[in-house]
């Protein structure tokens, strides 16, 4: 099968597009290559999204022979300011899991697992639970925020889930993470913070009517 080539995209969305988009096309390919934007060294760009009732959270998890969730990345950039990602034979499939966000609009929410399915060798099978359960911090009603971090080294995490009973506590821990990502994500009596495992992509979605058809689309940021 021909290798897949991807255009360079804005660094803010590169990794989400890589995992959410590429994984749905990789199954069954023996040799796979994807292009992604490079992040300049020293970049500290951050963003976050407050999760609202009525949305859903979708997680895409690679399934690798070697374990873990991180696809192999190259040591050297390409000549076009991007990187070439090669999954090789280590990549065997992927899981897509959906979580419902319940509560009142603008208020605290709780997150409930809805469904999961695993795709391997072109075949998709439903699963009773996710292979990588997420959002345990939001099993009870709480304010919830996803914090997106642009990677500044291969050791950095990409996304944190922050939960707090009050919005001011949510803002305080967000500032801590933005100031010091390595040590800012922690649990205290005011708020909780956990990292999404590196390699798993999460996106928030909202149900909208598009061309007369209801479908899930990316939540506004």
| Average pLDDT of the residues in 110-118 | 96
Residue 38 lies in a domain: yes
Whether the pLDDT of residue 180 is over 50: the answer is yes
- What is the per-residue pLDDT across 55-111, written as a single tens digit (0 to 9) for each? 999 999 999 998 888 876 544 444 444 444 455 688 899 999 999 999 988 899 999
Residue 3 lies in a domain: no
| Average pLDDT of the residues in 157-186 | 88
Residue 109 lies in a domain: yes
- Residues with Cβ within 8 Å of 180's Cβ and at least 6 positions away in sequence, in order, are none
Domain count within the chain: 1
Please tell me the least confidently modeled range out of 17-26, 30-39, 187-196.
30-39
| 58 φ/ψ angles, rounded to the nearest 5 degrees | -115, 125
Domain range holding 207? Answer: 14-218
The three-class DSSP label of residue 155 is: coil
Residue 9 lies in a domain: no
Residue 5 lies in a domain: no
How many Å apart are CA 150 and CA 34, to the nearest integer? 19
Residue 41 lies in a domain: yes
> What whole-number percentage of the chain has pLDDT above 70?
68
Residue 92 lies in a domain: yes
């Amino acid at each position: 099968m021909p290798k897949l080539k991807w255009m360079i995209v804005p660094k803010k969305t590169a990794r989400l597009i890589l995992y959410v988009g590429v994984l749905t096309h990789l199954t069954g390919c023996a040799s796979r290559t994807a292009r992604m934007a490079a992040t300049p060294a020293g970049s500290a760009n951050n963003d976050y999204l407050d999760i609202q009732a009525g949305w859903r959270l979708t997680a895409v998890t690679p399934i690798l022979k070697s374990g873990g969730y991180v696809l192999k990345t190259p040591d050297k950039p390409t000549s076009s300011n991007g990187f070439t990602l090669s999954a090789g034979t280590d990549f065997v499939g992927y899981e897509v899991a959906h979580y419902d966000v319940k509560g009142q609009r603008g208020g605290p929410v709780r997150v409930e697992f809805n469904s999961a399915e695993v795709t391997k060798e072109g075949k998709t099978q439903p699963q009773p639970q996710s292979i990588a359960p997420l959002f345990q911090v939001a099993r009870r009603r709480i304010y919830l925020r996803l914090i997106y971090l642009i990677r500044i080294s291969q050791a950095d995490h990409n996304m944190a889930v922050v939960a707090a009973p009050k919005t001011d506590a949510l803002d305080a821990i967000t500032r801590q993470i933005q100031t010091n990502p390595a040590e800012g994500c922690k649990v205290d009596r005011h708020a909780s913070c956990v990292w999404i495992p590196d390699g798993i992509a999460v996106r928030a979605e909202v149900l909208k009517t598009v061309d007369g058809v209801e479908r899930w689309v990316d939540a506004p940021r």
